[in-house]
Amino acid sequence: MLFGTTNYVNDHLTIGGVPVPYLAEKYGTPLFIYDVALMRQQMRAFKEVFTKRKLAHRVIYASKAFCSTAMYQLLQQEQLGCDVVSGGELYAALAAGMDPAMMEFHGNNKSKAELTAAVTAGIGKIVVDNFHEIELLNQVLAEQQTTQEVLFRIAPGVTAETHDYILTGQQDSKFGFDVASGQAEEALVQLLHSPRIKIQGIHFHIGSQIFAATGYEKALERTFNLLTKWRSKFGFTARIVNIGGGFGVRYTENDNPNTPVQLMTQITDTFVQHVQEQHYPLPEIWIEPGRSIVAEAGTTVYQVGSSKHIPGIRQYISVDGGMGDNIRPALYDATYNFVPVELTNEHNLAPQTIRITGKYCESGDILQKSITLPHLAPGDLIAMQSTGAYGYSMASSYNNNPRPAVVFVEDGQDHLVIRRETYADLTRLNIPLPNETQSQGKVGVTDNVRI
């Protein structure tokens, strides 16, 4: 299972035309490597689904999947918008030069300060999530003496097939206005009566890592039924229907989804069908893919360290990263595929069934419960595939392990886009107690800056 530009050249795993052993040597491990051509390909493919059908659309990348200055630059090159879900993401996107008009602000508990920052920045749309937010936003707009375009998020009451923790469109959800109990309609009434709020359309997001179109189709049916009702009841016409993200990707050979683009094509057909059947003025279709743009483009390279054989039980192999750079296996029981970085002679040794664990002080720090791979020895490099989404973005410096570096590769060139955290970075927020003499450098630990 090799994605995009990843392949073996002279027995070395190569991404974007750059040999992975060279990258590991240059930047150290663990290392996130992103195949930029594959990210561009995904971005363009989504847009093409709509341009082929001549549908007004917007592809909005969900920053939470992975964001960095370089990622925001790439979005600008490919003319995508982005969503942000915090003041921090807003800050980072603006600092990287994103056009605020191409941005949306999401979240179930946006603070007044965050809303003020978004409005002041001239953000394109705020996706209003709850009644408290309507109140806060009205206050902010009155203080700023301005108006704001919004979408409002409904919980359509659809349960998609995915992990419970990443379901969002069911009735019992913390996100959005519940349709079934009438909250969505009440929210629309409040928004229509808020003179500074300019309501442009509706939003739903049913969850993440979804392979089947069924959930989206049900949600679209409910949405268009509501929209048609609200059109005759309130004279409200949605100019935009945003169907969120959530399109599933391949983590292992067992995932055999439609490609995100095939899924999108099917959903778009349903969208058009509802518009036609209900004689609804054709709204713009907006989508918010995160994972499907970056997941398969990302590879994490680790170096193998210790191993432990428990006769009759299992073989453990530990690598130099783990739950700090990828919490998904521990959090969601997510499974991944691993491939060797170098197809050396040892490759021909009998394959081993191993458990791959990280270096964190937790028994649950398991990257892969059981996998059969060519024999691995200390010092070998190993690549974990499809780690581009919710890997680095959910990374922590638990156990004071520095977060890895991130490198973009394309056309034989490598660009460091996030440097490895240093030991000094890890303590830079610490403030000593007053009147204590700081012991400095006693233990003689040097910083780990390599570059």
Ligand X SMILES: Cc1ncc(COP(=O)(O)O)c(C=O)c1O
Q: Which residues are catalytic?
A: 361
The answer to whether the beta carbons of residues 220 and 267 sit under 8 Å apart is yes
Number of residues that bind ligand X (CB under 6 A): 16
User: What is the DSSP annotation of 61-88?
Assistant: EEGGG---HHHHHHHHHTT-EEEE-SHH
Residue 107 lies near ligand X (rule: CB under 6 A): no
**Residue of the chain from 290, 329, 388, 391 that contacts ligand X (CB under 6 A):** 290
Distance between CA 227 and CA 201 in Å, rounded? 9
**187 φ, ψ to 5°?**
-65, -45
Residue whose CB is less far from ligand LYS, 64 or 359: 64
Report d(CA 406, CA 160) in Å as an integer.
32
Q: Which does 328 bind (CB under 5 to 8 A by kind): ligand LYS, ligand X, none?
A: ligand LYS
Q: Which residues bind ligand LYS (CB under 6 A)?
A: 64, 166, 168, 208-209, 328, 390
Phi/psi-derived region of residue 333, left when phi > 0, alpha when psi is between -120 and 50, beta in every other case = left
Q: Does 208 bind ligand X (CB under 6 A)?
A: yes
Please report whether residue 289 would count as binding ligand X according to CB under 6 A: yes
235 token code pair = 């004279």
Is 391 a binding residue for ligand X by CB under 6 A? The answer is no
3-state helix, strand, coil in the chain (%, to 5): 35, 25, 40
Query: Is the peptide bond preceding residue 404 cis, with omega within 30 degrees of 0?
Result: no
The site partner of 288 among ligand LYS, ligand X, none (C-beta below 5 to 8 Å per kind) is: ligand X
In Å, the largest CA–CA distance within the chain is 76
Contact indicator for 187, 134 with CB cutoff of 8 Å: yes
- Nearest distance in Å: CB 391, ligand LYS: 8
Q: Which does 245 bind (CB under 5 to 8 A by kind): ligand LYS, ligand X, none?
A: ligand X
| Binding-site partner at residue 355 among ligand X, ligand LYS, none, CB < 5 to 8 Å by type | none
Asked if 265 interacts with ligand X (CB under 6 A), we say no
Phi/psi for 274 (5° steps) reads -65, -40
Taking CA atoms, 278 is separated from 221, 224, 282, in Å, by 10, 8, 10
Q: Least distance from C-beta 413 to ligand X, angstroms? A: 27
Q: Which is nearer to ligand LYS, 209 or 299 (CB)?
A: 209
Shortest separation between residue 53's beta carbon and ligand X, angstroms: 21
Stretch that binds ligand X, among 285-293, 296-304, 323-331, 364-372 (CB under 6 A): 285-293
Q: Out of 57, 291, 328, 420, which residue is the one contacting ligand X (CB under 6 A)?
A: 291
**Among the listed residues 244, 324, 329, 402, the single contact to ligand X using CB under 6 A:** 244
What is the contact surface with ligand X in residues (CB under 6 A)? 62, 65, 106, 168, 205, 208, 244-247, 288-292, 389
